[in-house]
Amino acid sequence: MSTGEMKPTTQSVTIASGDNPFRLEGEIALITGGGTGLGLAVARCMASAGARVVLAGRRAALLKKAAAAIGPQAGFVVCDVARFKDTARVVARAEALFGPITILVNNAGVHLKKPSLETSVEEFLAVLQTHVLGSHALTRAVLPGMLQRRHGSIIFIASMASLFGVPNVFAYGAAKSACLGMVRALATEVSPSGVRVNAIAPGWIETNMTRQAMAGDPARKRRILARTPLGRFGEPDDVGAAAVYLCSPAAKFVTGAVLPVDGGVSIGF
């Protein structure tokens, strides 16, 4: 190694014989949009893997019900990720429940089914605020602690619209594509200090958002299934299991990656 060249530091994880490298004991996860859909599935899977989870969202009653269903290793905080001034307080409340956040899942999102010419500046900004600026604000809030401890994992929930063109979701596709740019930039900045950053790009998963996207458009549903090699929609827990993997010791050499969970849509014809 030449003089002045910095050798990256890595967090060594030794997996003893018989240990399960996919377990998350000792981890504390903050999951936005955690009361429903993919966020709830991620929380449920992470709790099953041994993590304690904090569900974040805007509806207190829904979050309380979801946390109770998961069990004593789950709590919740009420927040709107688009309200950036509350970000530090949200993280403080989450950490008061179980301790320092070691996993952040930027999942909260909004959908807008409109072509570009019908999308107003205000609508575009609203989508960007949630998916991009809100994720950035929360990431900034948890990163100092992760960097200090030299341990952490951040996941952005991207989309098939991050990987190829999807008509009539102009704002959503732009926002999700920006998330992948953040993943790559962040990974190069923080991975030498033991914090890994990755993305999951779900395909068509059985959620309310998917149903809304296909509402009144049966031809679109047929096209989607026709280009999905597995020939069906995914389940929310498919994304949850992928999130567990990316945050577990099994993925200790994975950072800056985008994992499609899509039944083969991204390679289908």
Order of strands, sheet of 258-261, starting from the edge strand that comes earlier in the sequence? 74-78, 52-57, 28-32, 103-106, 152-157, 195-202, 258-261
- Classify residue 162 as exposed, middle or buried by CB count within 10 Å of its CB (0-12, 13-18, 19+): buried
Indicate if 172 belongs to the active site: yes
Residue 138: phi and psi, rounded to 5, are -70, -40
Give the N- to C-terminal CA distance of the chain in Å, as an integer: 47
What is the residue type of 115?
P
Tokens of 24: 């998350």
Phi and psi of 18, rounded to 5°?
95, -15
Selecting among 124, 170, 172, 233, the annotated active-site residue is 172
The catalytic residue positions are 172
